[in-house]
Structure 1
Amino acid sequence: MLKKEERKKFNGVISGDHVSLTTNKSLVDEEWFHGVLPREEVVRLLTTDGDFLVRETTRNDECQTVLSVCWSGHKHFIVQTTAEGHYRFEGPAFPTIRDLILYQFNSGLPVTQRSGAVLYKPIPRERWELNNDDVQLLDTIGRGNFGDVYRAQLKNSNEVVAVKTCRLTLPEEHKKKFLQEGRILKQYDHPNIVKLIGICVQKQPIMIVMELVPGGSLLNFLRKKGSGLAEGQLMKMCMDVAAGMRYLESKNCIHRDLAARNCLVGYNNTVKISDFGMSREEEEYTVSDGMKQIPIKWTAPESLHFGKYTSLSDVWSYGILCWEIFSRGATPYSDLSNSKARLKIDEGYRMPAPENTPDEMYRLMLRCWEYKPENRPNFEQIYTVVETLCAAYRFC
């Protein structure tokens, strides 16, 4: 733990992990101000007693500024406003929130006597936390589960990007799920996984900034241009997805919503896996909050019946995705309702191969649709099979 005299080395320093607490900045310009970052993300950043940051939250439609501190757990102090419009905790009041935080830091006094929490180390924004004002929204290109998706431009580099926005009216629980996609994607770097550029949490609306993949949704691409695609191009798409899923499998990431609608088509028809809103970073994940909004026709039987997800349940979905690719965007089990499809699958029914699907590829689909997950191939094995098929057919 840092001693009071050791705190002074943070004053005036803006390099590395050290953050200035003395330069004349506004609160929003301070590296330790994290905007509307949700509490769950804040707790993840504060790891040692004395670590602190400042953020904003909304309660009963009222915006409040909160000082979050790691101290025998995590404590969150709402900044109080006096009748004169000054700011305080228990001690003296100050004309700005920034002055109040500087006082608490430099004095070494507890924020409140009851908590005993002392500010030792300001925690800076992570490099992937962007300023909302650095992103210029251009035009709407789609709609996601949480809000609109825009084509946008980064002001500092003029790079054109895709931006997912989170509706202001969504409850905090939904905003947490929205940011979960960013938290997962920031760790990954693979040509078949959509690239995260950053998140914007300095103010509302919260935004996730990602690479703009020019071909749009794989499903729409297949439906519009699929008739002009050769079998070899379709096989290459299956290989792209297998490569991305093999990478996710190695990271213990379960996607949980793998489908053509959740993949994007880039340059040279390269497919990138996207939409990680349902993903989980663990070897096995069991749903405990019901089965709402589950894509029944893409979901493995063990997930539907027991809420159990693993990479092998993603393998089932991959088989459906390959079927979508070779059917050039058809809807799986199109003549069956969700409940009827689920019943028939339990009885052993499997979809026939789309027209002109190579026999070896259909056999792989059937292996992905083995009822027991342990009988399915993993993505390492799947990639090897598809890569071999591509080479044998001179498709790639």
Structure 2
Amino acid sequence: MGNLNMYRFEGTGFSNIPQLIEHHYTTKQVITKKSGVVLLNPIPKDKKWVLNHEDVTLGELLGKGNFGEVYKGILKDKTDVAVKTCKEDLPQELKIKFLQEAKILKQYDHPNIVKLIGVCTQRQPIYIIMELITGGDFLSFLRKKKDDLKLKQLVKFSLDAASGMSYLESKNCIHRDLAARNCLVGENNVLKISDFGMSRQEDGGVYSSSGLKQIPIKWTAPEALNYGRYSSESDVWSFGILLWETFSLGVCPYPGMTNQQAREQVERGYRMSAPQNCPEDIFKIMMRCWDYKPENRPTFSELQKELTVIKRKIT
């Protein structure tokens, strides 16, 4: 949105988004000179997901995200929700990235994946409306409840994460930022994968990136750090780190090391030792997730099966 409440990419401004789309569709004018992209086939608005700003009332601030604040909200039907807001002064390309999460999530329905309820894009600021998960983020949960968490519960959390990631794997979705801080704990202590801001859906199963800012180095697989190659296999590496966080009850990975030191040590073959009281079969899974060769790592489908067996053994 430009001056005088006009919508534009570059050049001519329009008073509403449909006019802007119609202009680019009929004239075949490039969206931006830099991208060279031309609008060939505008996709109709999916009414199921589009809400009006008036449909949601913002409540308390829950935290800050990459693009803006996250609030507790309430819909007209009294449903409690989480509302991610996008700062109004962000450049257009970042606003498009903000909506990427909603674009991905609206295709998914799984008990271990956070649910999208809708988006508000008719005016600024843009909102993404998600189900409200009452237990907060998994990392804080682990640290807060560490004295009360039993082995069976930790294995159940791990299985929940593997189930959610196995579902994403089946959909060719690469998360790219799997970590305890990006999982949420819902009712009945069900863990849900969240924070899809860096996620990509790729038909070939591999996503190459050259321009990722703020890469979570201690969670990221070597081939992704070295060559920008992201895949379900690189997500499996991150899952191994998530397991380590889980069984260490929220300790930061590679304790005492900087990001750079951890990266260099991993390249030399170093792998973290098992957290205190971690079962041997869980640690063996971690080590397989951290195989330097992506093709040697287990799939999430295999991990889900293995963790199901381990959970059954625990009384």
- Structure-1-length-normalised TM-score: 0.71
Partner of 1:347: 268
Residues 58 and 64 of structure 1 are in contact (CA less than 8 Å); yes or no, is this contact kept in structure 2?
A: no
RMSD of equivalent CA atoms: 2.2
Larger Rg: 1
Match of 1:380 among 287, 296, 301: 301
- Which runs of 5 or more residues in structure 2 are unaligned? 32-41
* CA distance, structure 1, for counterparts of residue 225 and residue 234 of structure 2: 10
1:195 aligns with 2:195: no
Structure 2 CA distance for partners of 1:124 and 1:372, relative to 1, 3 Å: closer
Structure 2 CA distance for partners of 1:381 and 1:214, relative to 1, 3 Å: same
Within-5 A mapping of 1:111-126 = 123-126=44-47
* CA distance, structure 1, for counterparts of residue 138 and residue 310 of structure 2: 21
1:335 aligns with 2:256: yes
Partner of 1:393: 314
Match of 2:195 among 256, 275, 284: 275
Query: Aligned partner of 1:126: which letter?
Result: K
* CA distance, structure 2, for counterparts of residue 124 and residue 257 of structure 1: 29
Deviation at 1:146, TM superposition (A): 0.4
1:224 aligns with 2:153: no
Residues 131 and 200 of structure 1 are in contact (CA less than 8 Å); yes or no, is this contact kept in structure 2?
A: yes
* CA distance, structure 1, for counterparts of residue 298 and residue 228 of structure 2: 21
Cα distance per residue 1:278-307 (max 9 Å; x no partner): 000011000032x42100000000000000
Identity of aligned residues (%): 53
Partner of 1:144: 65
Structure 2 CA distance for partners of 1:354 and 1:64, relative to 1, 3 Å: same
Query: Aligned partner of 1:239: which letter?
Result: L
Residues 57 and 65 of structure 1 are in contact (CA less than 8 Å); yes or no, is this contact kept in structure 2?
A: no
Deviation at 1:75, TM superposition (A): 5.4
Query: Aligned partner of 1:277: which letter?
Result: G
Secondary structure at the aligned position of 1:130 is classed as: coil
Partner of 1:163: 83
Partner of 2:209: 287
Query: Aligned partner of 1:139: which letter?
Result: E
Match of 1:243 among 163, 169, 172: 163
Secondary structure at the aligned position of 1:158 is classed as: coil
Highest RCO, 1 vs 2 (Cα 8 Å, sep ≥ 6) = 2
Secondary structure at the aligned position of 2:152 is classed as: helix
Deviation at 1:334, TM superposition (A): 2.0
Query: Aligned partner of 1:177: which letter?
Result: K
Partner of 1:9: none
Partner of 1:254: 174
Deviation at 1:72, TM superposition (A): 7.0
Partner of 1:40: none
Deviation at 1:56, TM superposition (A): 3.6
1:367 aligns with 2:288: yes
Higher share of residues assigned strand: 1
Residues 149 and 164 of structure 1 are in contact (CA less than 8 Å); yes or no, is this contact kept in structure 2?
A: yes
Partner of 1:179: 99
1:214 aligns with 2:134: yes
Within-5 A mapping of 1:1-80 = 56-57=7-8, 64-66=15-17, 67=19, 68-69=21-22, 71=25, 74=28
* CA distance, structure 1, for counterparts of residue 71 and residue 14 of structure 2: 26
Residues 57 and 64 of structure 1 are in contact (CA less than 8 Å); yes or no, is this contact kept in structure 2?
A: no
Partner of 1:307: 228
Deviation at 1:125, TM superposition (A): 4.8
Secondary structure at the aligned position of 1:199 is classed as: strand
Cα distance per residue 1:72-110 (max 9 Å; x no partner): 785599xxxxxxxxxxxxxxxxxxxxxxxxxxxxxxxxx
Partner of 1:47: none
Cα distance per residue 1:205-260 (max 9 Å; x no partner): 00000000000000000011122100110000000000000000000000000000
Query: Aligned partner of 2:121: which letter?
Result: V
* CA distance, structure 2, for counterparts of residue 268 and residue 124 of structure 1: 35
* CA distance, structure 1, for counterparts of residue 245 and residue 29 of structure 2: 49
1:319 aligns with 2:270: no
Deviation at 1:331, TM superposition (A): 0.3
* CA distance, structure 1, for counterparts of residue 45 and residue 248 of structure 2: 49
